[in-house]
Amino acid sequence: MVYLVGAGPGDIELFTLKAVKVLQEADVVLYDALVNPEFTKFCKKECLKINVGKRKGKHLKNQEEINDLLVKYAKEKNIVVRLKGGTPFVFGRGYEEVKALKKIGVTPIIISGVSSTTSVPESFMIPSIDRSFSDSYRTITGHDIELFNEIVTNYHKRENLIIMMGAHKAKEIVNSLLKKGFPKTTPIAYLSKGTTKDQKCLIFTLEEVFKKDEDFFEELKNLTPIITFVGETIKAFEE
C-alpha cells in the first residue's frame, strides 16, 4: 500500500490524525524538504526515512528519481508513505506520482493535509475571504513570471491573490501587478515560515515594494518559504 500524505504547513500539531496513523505503520517514508522533521517521532524505529526534498537550486532528487523510488519501494515494502508539504495536489506534483504508481498497477491512497495556502495567512490573522473586503481568492504560482502574467490579467478589488513560490520573483511580480492596473496603495504581505515558531509577516503597499532596493529582495529570498498575499483583507490584520 502506498499513501500520498499531506504534512500541512509546518506546525507538527497540524498533522491530521490519519497522517499520524499511517506514519506509525510505514516501512518507508519519502519526505519533502519543507516537512517538519519532528514527523520522525511518529515512525517506528525500523522505518526507512529518505529525504527527497526540492528547494530552489537544491534538488536532492528530481521528480523522475522520486517517482522511481516510489515504484521501487511499492514493489519491495508493505506500506510506503510519500510525505509532502501542505497537501499532495496543491503545487506538490502529487498526481505525477500517482500516474507513475498506476503504471505498475498500484493506486495510492491520498490523505489530504492542511493547505498552507489558507492556513498560513490565517496564522497571521489574514482571512482569505472576509465580507468586508473580498468575495474570492486565487492561488497562483509565482516562480514563472510569464505564466503569472498570463493568469493575472487585471485588477479585481474584491479578489485576493495568494502567490506560492514567489519570493525569487518578488520584484517582477510587483512590477507586473502595477502594470496591470493594481492601485499603488494595494496591500501586499510576505508571510514567512507561517505556523512555525519562526514565522514573520512583512506588510507594505505595492508602491512601497516597488521603491525597495535590491538588498530587500535578496533578504526576502533568505526568508523562504514565503507566501505572498495581495489584497484588501490584509487590512483586517492591521485593525
Q: How far apart are CA 59 and CA 70, in angstroms?
A: 17
The residues carrying an active-site annotation are 32, 54, 165
The answer to whether 81 and 26 have CB atoms below 8 angstroms apart is yes
Q: How far apart are CA 217 and CA 28, in angstroms?
A: 39
